[in-house]
Structure 1
C-alpha cells in the first residue's frame, strides 16, 4: 500500500503572525543556533562575488577543504575512480568510500550541495565516513562539473553517467551489487539526485530503489511561500537562489520549465522509487520539498516527508542534537533498502 508518512510538519504559513519577510532568529533551534554562531568557517556567501566571480568562491571553498582534511577512519577505504563522460569524454571523478572489514551490503550514489556553483565530495567526508560505517554501504560521490563553467545539463549528465557506470562496472571494480541503489543528494545535490532518478525512469533503468532528498532544490520558479517568507534567511536565501539558477541554466533559460531542471515538469511520477524527503522549517526551499512529496504521493509513490522544526538550510553540517537525530534518521532509512 502506497502511503505518505508525515513525521513532523510545522508549516510557518500558520505560525507567522505577520507577513514580514525577516526571519525571527529566536525560531531557530537554540542548540543549532549556538553551533552556527560558534563555527570558525562562515558559510555565508558574498552575493556580489557569487554573481560576478563564482570562480573565486570555488577556489576559496576548495582551499578550505584542502587545508582542513577530515581524518579517515582506518576501516574505511577511500579511492578515486575516473569515468568518461558520454557527452564530451571528460574524466568525471567518482570519490568512493568503502568499508574494509566487511562486505558493503548497500550502494549509495551521492551528490554534494553547493548551489551548482561550488563544492566537492570531500566537503562531507565526515558524514560519509559515518554513513558508510553505520549503513554498511559503499558510497560513490560524484564530483560533477560546476556551473557557470559547465551549465545544465552537464552536471545532470555527469550524474547519470555515474549511475550507468555503477550498473555496468560497479561489481567488477568495487565488488558491489548494483541492483538496489539509493540515490542521495543535498540541496542542489538533491536536485541532481532527483533529476538522475527521473532520467533513469525515462531510460527504463530500474536499479534505483530509493531516493533520499535532503532539503532539495526542486524547480526554478522561486514562487513558493517559504521562498518569499525567508528572503533574508542565513546560509541560503532567495537572492542566492536567483544567482544559482542564472549560473546553472544561463540567463536565457532561467525562467523556462525544462525537463530535469524543473523537476515538476516530469510526466512519469508513478514510476519513481520509494522516496524520503527532508525539509527544514526555516529554509526557503522548504515548500519545494513539501510540494514534491505531495506530488509523488498523489502519483502513488511511497513517500516519507520530515520537516525538521527549528532547522535552517544545511543544519546537518553543525553539531547539535538535531543533527544527531537526522543522522540516525538517515541511517535508518538507508538500512531499509
Structure 2
C-alpha cells in the first residue's frame, strides 16, 4: 500500500523542543483521576471567540428508549456539497463532547462545504463500553435510513468521519453495519484513529508507539488510562468492536480516507488498518501529514497541518468511483 506524505520533509525534532514537549505531555495528568477537569477545560476553551456558525441541536432517542442522544447539526456558510458528514469526536471515549468540538465542527462544515452532524455519544467511565458505540450505531442507522430524523434535508450520501477515538468508533460502526446486513455508508474518513489495543512500548508491534509515546501530545500512559476507563475488562480489548484492526473479515467496507499524523504514537496502527482494508479488497487512500501531532483537526484554521488535511479531504469528497453507482444499483 502506498502512503501519501506531505511535501514538507519528515520532522527532525531537536533535543530542546523534545524536552519542552515532554514537559507538557499527558503523563503530567492522571487521566483516571483528572478526566473531569480535562472535560471542564475543554468546554471553557470551546467558548472562546471563534468563527460564527449556524447549528441546530436535535435529540435522537436510544434504541431502548432509555436516553436521548444529542446531535448538533452544523451548516456551512456556503454549502458546496450535498454530502452530510456524520462526525464522532475524539477524546479517548472519556473526554470531548459536542460543546468542546463545536469550533472544530464549524471549521469542518466551512472548509468542506458540507453539513456536519456531530454525535454526543455517552462517555466512560460513567458509561463504559459498549455504551458510546451503541449511541454511535443508533445515530448511524437512523441517519443512513432517513436523515430527516436529525432535521437534515439531505440529498447526498452520509459520510462517516471520526478523529482518534471517534475514528475508532467510525471504523467499528462500518464493520458492525456490514455484519448486521445493513446498508452502511459508502465512504468514511478516519483521522489518526485508534485501531489496536496494545500501546505498551515494551510489547507493541508498532514503531510509532515506541518512538512517539512519551514525547508528544498523546502518550502511552494516557492511552492506557483511556482503555482502563473505557473497557475495564482487559479481556474485551482485543475484540474487533474495541480494536478494529483485530477483525478477521474486513471485506465490504466503505471507501476509506485514512489520515495519520507523523509525530503521533497512533500513526503506524492507523496505517496498518488502511493496509488491512486494502488487502481485503476495499478502496483506500492513506495520507500522512508530516510534522503533525495527534489531534491536529482541532487546531485553528491557519494551521498548516489542518489545511493540508482538508485539502486531502476535499479531494476525497470530490472523487467519483467509476462503476460505483451501477454496482450499488444491482
TM-score by length of 1: 0.81
Q: How far off its partner does 1:65 sit?
A: 2.2
Offset of residue 124 of structure 1: 3.6
1:329 alignment partner in structure 2: 312
Deviations 1:144-168 (A, max 9, x none): 1111111111111111111122134
2:27, 2:52 → 1: CA distance? 31
Counterparts of 1:134 and 1:264, CA distance in 2? 30
Query: 55-64 vs 306-315, which deviates more?
Result: 55-64
Number of the residue aligned with 2:323: none
User: Would the aligned equivalents of 2:214 and 2:220 in 1 still touch at CA under 8 Å?
Assistant: yes
Which of 245, 253, 256 is 2:227 aligned to? 245
Partner of 2:114: 137
Contact map agreement 1:246 1:254 (CA 8 A) in 2: no
Find the partner of 2:14 among 26, 33, 43: 26
Tell me how far 1:104 sits from its aligned partner.
5.5
Q: Report if aligned partners of 1:107, 1:137 keep a CA contact under 8 Å in 2.
A: yes
Q: Deviations over 1:114-173 (max 9, x none)?
A: 111111123343443343234332211101111111111111111111112213441363
Q: Is the 8 A contact 2:59 2:70 kept in 1?
A: yes
- Asked if the contact 1:237/1:284 (under 8 Å) is kept, the reply is yes
Is 1:310 matched up with 2:291?
A: yes
Deviation at 1:5, TM superposition (A): 4.5
1:151 aligns with 2:142: no
TM-score by length of 2: 0.83
Measured at CA, do residues 103 and 231 of structure 1 come closer, stay the same or move farther in structure 2, by a change above 3 Å? closer
- Note closer, same or farther for the CA distance 1:140–1:298 as it changes in structure 2 (3 Å cut): same
Whether contact under 8 Å (2:236, 2:242) holds in the other structure is: no
Which of 270, 274, 282 pairs up with 2:251? 270
Name the residue aligned to 2:178: 201
Further displaced range: 97-106 or 129-138: 97-106
Give 1:18's aligned residue: none
Aligned partner of 2:4 in structure 1 is 7
Contact 2:45 2:100 in 1 (8 A): no
State whether residues 221 and 255 of structure 1, in contact with CA within 8 Å, keep that contact through their aligned partners in structure 2: no
1:117–1:6 CA distance, 2 compared to 1 (3 A): same
Aligned to 1:19: none
The equivalent of 1:20 in structure 2 is none
The 8 Å contact of residues 210 and 265 in structure 2, kept in 1 or not, is answered as yes
- Residues 102 and 63 (structure 1), Cα distance of their counterparts in 2 relative to 1, 3 Å cut: closer
Equivalent residue in structure 2 for 1:61, among 42, 46, 49: 42
Structure 2 residue ranges without an equivalent (≥5): 321-330
Distance 1:46 1:228, change over 3 A: closer
CA distance in 1, matches of 2:298, 2:46: 14
Match of residue 229 from structure 1: 211
Alpha-carbon spacing, 1:121–1:332, altered in 2? closer, same or farther (3 Å): farther
49, 64, 69: which one pairs with 2:30?
49
Q: Which runs of 5+ in 1 are unaligned?
A: 16-22
SS of residue paired to 1:213: strand
Maintained 8 Å contact 2:72/2:118: yes
Which residue pairs with 1:96 in the alignment? 73
Distance in structure 2 (CA, Å) of the matches to 1:293 and 1:333: 15
